[in-house]
């Protein structure tokens, strides 16, 4: 902040000395710096796509806009970054939609267990009118949603036993995201669900504060959970998006051109990210097996039993997001599936 003020003051003095207008001059010498925070490591799908976003912004703006992508929760875990972005202390971030539910209740739609059967369904709904409608709801809360990235289908890891049936969940101390739907889902399945920020997860696993966690293959690889987890059970129990967001306070002060640069770059990063994530996920199981994890696939009959148990969670989601939105989503999915 100090250096920022000093630099601005210097630029103004220099601009006056040269007879240029302060604003035009400042823009010439001082690129707009955009702090873009994320939670995972630099060596992750999230880190790679953040870099793609930063490069695209820099290129399209001719260097006038510079994105500082800051990973590994160095700017704080998702919940803290969301508050900083709302307040304008941080310009942008990418993070979970699950931790946004306290801000925009409609985001809970994405937490519905077994909502999507495959990534094609996820892309179609997220990038279609339903995804847009939910994203637009953020604006009244001080956030501007740009695009959804793929976090992915979540799977369970733990140190107690392979999860082969519903009953295996019994009493497992399972870290969940800070989100009511996840908390209730896993309580309903019999686990001892404990909400924790992602940034505290590795050490919680390492110290046996929790027995397990659930995240997509990619994150189990990039966050090295295989070092502290023995069993991986492929459940695909829910598809999680990430969302790229900007501070509305800050966004409102940008020019039309600057906004277009950011939105175009966000779309470019999204397309890269989904492809990269899917390629990595396809190789991840073999990779994790080599790294010593014991992997099992949840049988469809057991997935069905879990799904049955979770219908009351679905009712809670429907009530949270509103019946109209819930019904519109179910109808759209039904139509897609009948094709
Ligand atoms: C990273 C998180 C992570 C999410 C979680 O900041 O918390 O488990 O899946 O990707 O957003």
Query: What is the residue extent of each domain of the chain?
Result: 32-338
Rounded CA separation 225/217 (Å): 10
Helix (H, G, I), strand (E, B) or coil at 177: coil
Q: Which CATH number, 3.40.190.170, 3.40.50.2300, 3.30.450.20, 3.90.960.10, labels domain 32-338?
A: 3.40.190.170
**Residues at CB less than 6 angstroms from ligand 1:** 39-40, 78, 95-96, 151, 177, 198, 215, 219, 240
- Give the HSE-up count for residue 332: Cα atoms under 13 Å, Cβ half-sphere: 20
Write out the chain's pLDDT in tens, 339 residues.
444 444 444 444 444 444 444 444 445 568 999 999 999 999 999 999 999 999 999 999 999 999 999 999 999 999 999 999 999 999 999 999 999 999 999 999 999 999 999 999 999 999 999 999 999 999 999 999 999 999 999 999 999 999 999 999 999 999 999 999 999 999 999 999 999 999 999 999 999 999 999 999 999 999 999 999 999 999 999 999 999 999 999 999 999 999 999 999 999 999 999 999 999 999 999 999 999 999 999 999 999 999 999 999 999 999 999 999 999 999 999 999 998
Q: What is the pTM of this model?
A: 0.92
Contacts of 104 (CB under 8 A, 6+ apart): 134, 137, 138, 141, 143
For ligand 1, atom 7: residue with the closest CA: 198
Q: Residue 53: phi, psi to the nearest 5? A: -60, -50
- Residue closest by Cα to atom 5 of ligand 1: 198
Index of the ligand 1 atom closest to the CA of residue 78: 6
């Amino acid at each position: 902040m100090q250096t920022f003020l000093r630099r601005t003051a210097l630029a103004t003095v220099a601009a006056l000395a040269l007879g240029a207008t302060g604003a035009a001059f400042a823009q010439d010498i001082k690129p707009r710096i955009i702090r873009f925070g994320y939670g995972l490591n630099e060596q992750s799908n999230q880190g790679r796509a953040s870099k793609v976003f930063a490069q695209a912004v820099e290129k399209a703006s001719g260097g006038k806009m510079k994105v500082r992508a800051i990973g590994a929760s160095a700017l704080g875990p998702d919940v803290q970054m969301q508050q900083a972005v709302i307040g304008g202390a941080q310009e942008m971030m990418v993070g979970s939609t699950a931790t946004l539910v306290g801000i925009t209740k409609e985001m809970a739609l994405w937490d519905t267990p077994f909502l999507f059967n495959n990534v094609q369904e996820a892309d179609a709904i997220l990038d279609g009118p339903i995804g847009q409608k939910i994203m637009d709801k953020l604006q009244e809360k001080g956030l501007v949603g740009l695009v959804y990235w793929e976090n992915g289908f979540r799977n369970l890891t733990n140190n107690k036993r392979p999860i082969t049936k519903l009953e295996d969940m019994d009493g497992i101390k399972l870290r969940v995201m800070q989100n009511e739907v996840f908390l209730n889902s896993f309580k309903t399945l019999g686990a001892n669900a404990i909400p924790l920020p992602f940034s505290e997860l590795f050490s919680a696993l390492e110290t046996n504060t929790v027995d397990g966690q659930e995240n997509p293959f990619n994150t189990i690889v990039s966050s090295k959970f295989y070092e502290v987890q023995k069993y991986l059970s492929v459940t695909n129990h829910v598809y999680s998006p990430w969302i790229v967001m900007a501070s509305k306070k800050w966004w409102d002060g940008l020019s039309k051109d600057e906004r277009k640069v950011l939105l175009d770059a966000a779309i470019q990063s999204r397309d890269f990210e989904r492809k990269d994530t899917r390629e990595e996920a396809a190789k991840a199981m073999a990779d994790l097996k080599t790294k010593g994890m014991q992997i099992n696939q949840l049988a469809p009959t057991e997935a069905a039993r879990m799904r049955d148990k979770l219908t009351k969670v679905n009712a809670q989601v429907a009530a949270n997001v509103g019946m109209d939105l819930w019904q519109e989503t179910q109808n759209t999915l039904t139509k897609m599936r009948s094709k």
